[in-house]
């Protein structure tokens, strides 16, 4: 199917041409597979509607795997932190052993993930697609050996089997139901497949996809963005507070370039400035009689300070020889994904009901080129 412009997709949605919407693992990963994130729970709007929320068995399996992996990684971090606490602070051993139970994280990781996924599927009334019921294995093998979409050229072709199965499930669902499937995926293989498919249409951003179903909200979007931009308004204050909390919560990794070996300590960072969103950059991802939910990205600047220690390698004995240091302050650009629920009614200072961020906790601060500051050594 040829690629569609936004206006064409809007007309297709308005005409009832979209019968299903689905999300690829790549998009779930953008939200760290947090099934409670506002963008993912916004899929509840399709409950009881003519548009079905579809998830393939492949995507569900990958989400499950990623959630278990991240949960086990978090458990390992907790255990490592407790070992360090025991080593350096000598806490009460019995109290330390009770920490996992007190935090309610002493149960099975797999069971916990299964429970969360099952609850999400129930709440969203997801229609689950299975390969056994929908995929033509003979056709899949033909596409594989002929390197036809969704298979790509290159050494990773075998790894694309899961995506191929998922896409063929969606195409077959569209064929059987006579309606198109809007697939949200940040994967070139999905886009390539859609160009040849009859029923699958791919877009790469969930807010864009959901915005297609809420086209008549221009006035409310303009009202909300004007409130975000006006200093002193509660909306502006709440957004600034939300951004500050997000910046306080992140765990940055420092990158820098130097011709010397260097170690770095991040001394501190804080939100310095931010730009309110323009109405054209805001997507309405959900709405009802009393409120609408907006998704947008705030371009912000973080001021960060880091201390660098530089050294060179002694060619005689291989030791590192310190040759100075530098304290560097940089303005770091940081885009923050924000979701805000705003009221349709009430005064300006009652318009904002709730604001949350959906940005990653692990970000990179790039300090650029660094070198010793011999003037202060």
Whole-angstrom distance, CA of residue 329 vs CA of residue 97:
41
- Classify residue 212 by burial, with Cβ atoms within 10 Å: 0-12, 13-18, 19+: buried
Which helix (DSSP H) or strand (DSSP E) does residue 220 occupy? helix 218-229
What confidence score (pLDDT) does residue 154 get?
54
* Sequence-ordered list of residues with C-beta below 8 angstroms from that of 277, at least 6 positions apart, any chain: 225, 228, 296, 297, 298, 338
The pTM of this model reads: 0.82
pLDDT for position 158: 42
Most confident of 128-132, 135-139, 143-147, 328-332: 328-332
Question: 56, 216 in Cβ contact below 8 A?
Answer: no
| Structural element, H or E, at residue 309 | strand 291-313
Digit-coded pLDDT (tens) for 268-310: 999 999 999 999 999 999 998 889 999 999 999 999 999 999 9
Q: Which residue has the tokens 């969203």?
A: 124
Q: What is the mean pLDDT of residues 257-266?
A: 93
Cβ–Cβ < 8 Å for 304, 330? yes
Mean pLDDT of the chain: 87
pLDDT of 320 > 90? The answer is: no
Angstrom distances, CA of residue 50 to CA of 2, 20, 46, 315, 371: 24, 8, 8, 72, 61
Using the predicted structure, report yes or no on whether residue 1 has a pLDDT greater than 60.
no
User: Could you tell me how many residues make up the chain?
Assistant: 377
- Kindly report the backbone phi and psi dihedral angles of residue 367, in degrees, each rounded to the nearest multiple of 5, phi listed first: -85, 0
Per-residue pLDDT at 192: 82
Pairing of strands 291-313, 283-287: antiparallel
CB-based burial of residue 144 (10 Å sphere; 0-12 exposed, 13-18 middle, 19+ buried)? middle
pLDDT digits (tens, 9 = 90+) for 264-276: 999 999 999 999 9
The pLDDT > 70 percentage for the chain reads 88
Q: DSSP code of 160?
A: G
pLDDT in tens, 195-246: 888 999 999 899 999 999 998 888 889 989 999 999 988 889 999 999 999 9
CA distances from 368 to 258, 362, 377 (A): 8, 19, 21
Which is more confident, 28 or 349? 28
Pairing status of strand 200-203 against strand 261-275: unpaired
- From CA 241, how far away is CA 238, in angstroms rounded? 5
Instruction: Provide the pLDDT for residue 84.
Output: 79
Q: What is the pLDDT of residues 151-210, one digit of tens each?
A: 655 544 444 667 778 888 999 999 999 999 999 998 888 888 888 889 999 998 999 999
Asked if pLDDT for residue 58 goes beyond 70, the answer is: yes
Residue with the bigger pLDDT between 69 and 106: it is 69
- What confidence score (pLDDT) does residue 159 get? 45
Question: In this structure, are residues 70 and 29 in contact, taking their beta carbons and an 8 Å threshold?
Answer: no
């Amino acid at each position: 199917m040829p690629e569609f412009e936004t206006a064409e997709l809007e007309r297709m949605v308005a005409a009832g041409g979209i019968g299903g919407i689905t999300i690829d693992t790549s998009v779930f990963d953008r939200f760290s597979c947090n099934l409670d994130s506002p963008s993912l729970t916004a899929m509840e709007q399709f409950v009881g509607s003519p548009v079905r929320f579809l998830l393939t068995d492949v995507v569900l399996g990958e989400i499950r795997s990623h959630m278990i992996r991240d949960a086990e990684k978090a458990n390992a971090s907790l255990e490592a932190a407790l070992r360090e606490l025991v080593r350096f602070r000598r806490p009460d051993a019995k109290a330390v052993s009770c920490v996992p139970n007190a935090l309610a994280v002493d149960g099975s990781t797999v069971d916990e993930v299964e429970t969360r996924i099952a609850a999400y599927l129930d709440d969203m009334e997801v229609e689950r697609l299975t390969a056994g019921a929908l995929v033509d294995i003979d056709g899949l093998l033909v596409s594989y050996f002929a390197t036809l979409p969704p298979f790509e050229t290159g050494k990773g072709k075998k790894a694309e089997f899961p995506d191929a199965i998922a896409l063929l499930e969606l195409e077959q669902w569209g064929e059987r139901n006579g309606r198109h499937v809007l697939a949200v995926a940040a994967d070139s293989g999905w886009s390539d497949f859609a160009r040849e498919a009859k029923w699958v249409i791919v877009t790469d951003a969930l807010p864009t996809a959901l915005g297609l179903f809420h086209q008549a909200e221009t006035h409310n979007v303009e009202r909300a963005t004007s409130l975000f931009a006006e200093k002193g308004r509660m909306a502006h204050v709440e957004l600034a507070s939300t951004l500050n909390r997000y910046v306080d919560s992140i765990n940055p990794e420092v990158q820098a370039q130097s011709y010397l070996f260097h170690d770095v300590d991040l001394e501190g960072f804080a939100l310095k400035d931010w730009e309110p969103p323009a109405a054209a950059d805001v997507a309405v991802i959900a709405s009802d009689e009393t409120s609408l939910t907006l998704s947008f990205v705030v371009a912000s600047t973080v001021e960060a300070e880091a201390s660098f220690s530089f050294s060179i390698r002694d060619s005689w004995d291989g030791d590192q020889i310190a040759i100075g240091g530098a304290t560097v302050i940089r303005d770091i650009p940081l885009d923050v994904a924000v979701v805000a629920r705003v009221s349709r009614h009430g005064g300006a200072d009652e318009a904002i009901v709730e604001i949350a961020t959906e940005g990653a906790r692990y970000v990179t601060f790039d300090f650029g080129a660094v070198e010793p500051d011999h003037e202060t050594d």
